[in-house]
Chain A
Amino acid sequence: MATKATLQRESLVPFIQILGPDGMANPNDVVELGLKPHDFKALYRWMVLARTFDERALALQRQGRLGTYAPLLGQEAAQVGSAYALKPEDWVFPSYREHVVLAMRGQSWVQLLTYWGGNEEGNRIPEGIRNFMISVPIATQILHATGAAWAAKLKGEKSCAIVYFGDGATSEGDFHEGLNFAGVFKVPVVFFCQNNQYAISVPRTRQTASETIAQKALAYGFEGVQVDGNDVFAVYKVTKDALEKAREGGGPTLIEAVTYRLTHHTTADDWTRYRPAEEVEMWKQKDPIKRLRLYLEKQGLWSEQDEAKLVEEAKAEIAQAVAQYEALPKRDIEDIFQYMYAEMPWNLKEQLQELKEYLAEHGGDLPKE
């Protein structure tokens, strides 16, 4: 890695940071990104959109207009920086917090709201988009990503897979099994851990006694790298390098993006029960969006007017999605029975008929009391 290490310590893996919390960056490191001003603005735009969506989704849940929702506040750079490095032919295996990754890959905000609104149609990924569905069980998708990338390798294709998971997932057996297979078969997969410091209430130190998560890669025989997860430039750089290496047959990489969940695990959680406000305040000083804005301003690429315009556009885009989401038609009870198998077996047909008859006896819907 050509980028500078600002955090000096005895470590088994490098720690990469390019853009500091003050919005300062070494110009040479920025040049090496190979990004143009319009890319910087695109990164910024996606992060602002992510936060706008997140705030709106949270508010909708509080108003009873959305189901349980997992906010991404504070993790915008980790998600946007990594997704920006992907090619359309690459596969994405998300956990449940990567809303902006899915949007950057072409899924609509409406679809994301649909999912979090308790409607499986939100899981119907449009044809042509190589996103897999949200994975609610922890770490299980690590194996799916490894298998999909392995298949690409066996078929002689140049595509990779990236899989997102959190620090808590690294305690699961599937994390071990996935990384182990990927190492043994030199699979073109990037393991992207957003270490946001907490698995609901349990801190990172209770998941592993390992100094870093990234160093776990060494035991599986491949490279691990720690990156400032609130630095969108560094995240983009390490992800791009890892994907290129994978595409060239160099095998997997484990990336640990060190970040922080600035709010609740989900809308059913209350972060004040398990961490001090000062800690959250300290991480707010490292805000990923603020630091890119500072950088853009220093470079003369961003003005107050640009900011006001973007904020308006983002709000309008999300508002439009919310309106579409809330206008979705009522679902059909047949949706319960469809897609269990390619062909519906007799028992499902019978059970569907039974439900229809019951509803018909009550005027077409469930009895009122």
Chain B
Amino acid sequence: MPQLNIVQAINDALKTEMRRDPTVLVLGEDVGVNGGVFRVTENLYKEFGPDRSIDTPLSEAGIVGTAIGMALNGLKPVAEIQFDGFMAPAFDQIISHAARIRWRSRGRFHVPLVIRAPYGGGIRGPEHHSESPEAYYAHTPGLKVVIPSNPYDAKGLLIAAIRDPDPVIYLEPKRLYRAFRAEVPEEDYIVPIGKARIAREGSDVTLIAWGAMIPIALQAAEKMAAQNVSVEVIDLRTLVPLDIETVIGSVKKTGRVVIVHEAPRTCGFGSELAALVNDKAFEYLEAPIVRVTGPDTVIPQARLEDYYLPDVGRCLRSIERVLSY
């Protein structure tokens, strides 16, 4: 089985679906001839040509707005927004249109559209290149929000997203793009949207994370194991629809919850998770739910970035805190 990194796995997913289904196409800035600034769409232009691997004008609302129109008229566009920070110009088209068309039309129209964007910090990027905007989309009814953390899931989740009849925001942890390789089957397969993964089993504390926070969560769990604390790590994989059963099942077992995300704390997805656990498993809790997040600030550039992002030490500190009750 080939060993691929996340960039290669996403490329493989796109290639697989474009070969299987002639209505699938990719569009975005630099996705054609150049193969994408991260090379995610490499060689698609060569194999599928300029009508299915489309270099667009530099125009995010234009990319998403026209992709909505394509989806309404029988195509399955996979739109790339080059960086998280540049999703904002397309926000209106995403939340006012893509998300609502099925509902507004009472099912006459729907938007089978995938919007891919690299997200998150840790690559020493310039301003507006390190954002974690998942909560905006998770807050908007009608969207699905998917964030893989490894090559196997990246391929299977993207194929599932392309085949999904509703719009999917697919955020790629750019700091993990080339961080490691893993076995990725050559054939097509899906990782179902809405199913979390227990990345590590444990019984004392539940650590919930997604995307680029997964390796950090796993390292923290490993360190705690040395102290005879058994940490269960849940990789959500999909924020919307959320796999509530897996989350609550774990909380009932451990009674202690730590949530890790890069995005600012206030109204981050961790807040929703805490509220849900409170609502559905209050009587099982042994300690308050604790969040390890970015502060409620702009994510700083290179020189202060490491102080902003959750790291293993901050996870350990929060795990110790929930254990102290």
- Which residues of A pack against B, CB within 8 Å? 91, 120-121, 123-127, 132-133, 137, 140, 142-152, 154-155, 161, 173-174, 177-178, 180-181, 184, 338-342, 345-347
Q: How many A-B contacts are there with CB distance less than 8 Å? A: 137
Interface pair A341/B166, CB less than 8 Å apart: yes
Per DSSP, are chain A's interface residues mostly helix, strand or loop, or mixed?
Answer: helix
B108 touching A143 by the CB < 8 A rule? no
Report the separation of the CA atoms of residues A124 and B106 in the bound assembly, to the nearest whole angstrom: 5
Q: Given A124-B108, A143-B62, A345-B241, are A148 and B51 neighbors across the interface (CB < 8 Å)?
A: no
User: Is the beta-carbon distance between A340 and B66 smaller than 8 angstroms?
Assistant: no
How many residues from B make CB contacts under 8 Å with A? 45
User: What are 25 A-B pairs with beta-carbon distances under 8 A?
Assistant: A120-B104, A123-B104, A133-B104, A133-B109, A137-B97, A140-B97, A142-B65, A143-B61, A143-B64, A144-B66, A146-B66, A147-B69, A149-B73, A151-B70, A151-B74, A174-B92, A178-B62, A180-B62, A181-B62, A181-B66, A340-B103, A340-B141, A341-B144, A345-B241, A347-B241
- Using known A-B contacts A124-B106, A184-B57, A339-B106, determine if residue A149 contacts B69 with beta carbons closer than 8 Å: yes
- Asked whether, in the complex, the Cβ of A177 is within 8 Å of the Cβ of B103, the reply is no
Tell me, rounded to whole Å, the shortest Cβ–Cβ distance linking A182 to chain B. 9
Residues of A within 8 A of B240 (CB): 345
What chain A residues lie within 8 Å of B101 (beta carbons)?
Answer: 133
Closest chain A CB from B277 CB (angstroms): 14
Which one of B62, B69, B72, B92 lies within 8 Å of A137 (CB-CB)?
A: B92
CB neighbours of B244 from chain A (8 A): 346-347
- Is B105 engaged at the interface, CB distance under 8 Å to the other chain? yes
Task: Kindly list chain B residues whose C-beta atoms are within 8 Å of the C-beta of A121.
Answer: 106
Complex-state Cα separation, A249 to B103, whole angstroms? 34
The listed residue (B73, B104, B110, B164) touching A147 by CB distance below 8 A is B73
Q: In the complex, A135→B294 CA distance in Å? A: 38
Question: Which B49-79 residues have C-beta < 8 A from chain A?
Answer: 51, 56-57, 59, 61-62, 64-75
Say if the beta carbon of B93 comes within 8 Å of chain A: yes
On whether the beta carbons of A150 and B70 are closer than 8 Å, the reply is yes
* Min CB–CB distance A23 → chain B (angstroms): 40
Specify which chain A residues have a CB less than 8 angstroms from the CB of B194 in the assembled complex.
Answer: 345
Additional pairs, 13, CB under 8 Å, beyond known A133-B105, A148-B72, A154-B75: A125-B109, A127-B108, A132-B72, A132-B109, A133-B109, A143-B61, A143-B65, A144-B72, A147-B70, A150-B69, A154-B51, A338-B106, A341-B241
- A346 interface neighbour in B25, B62, B93, B241, Cβ under 8 Å: B241
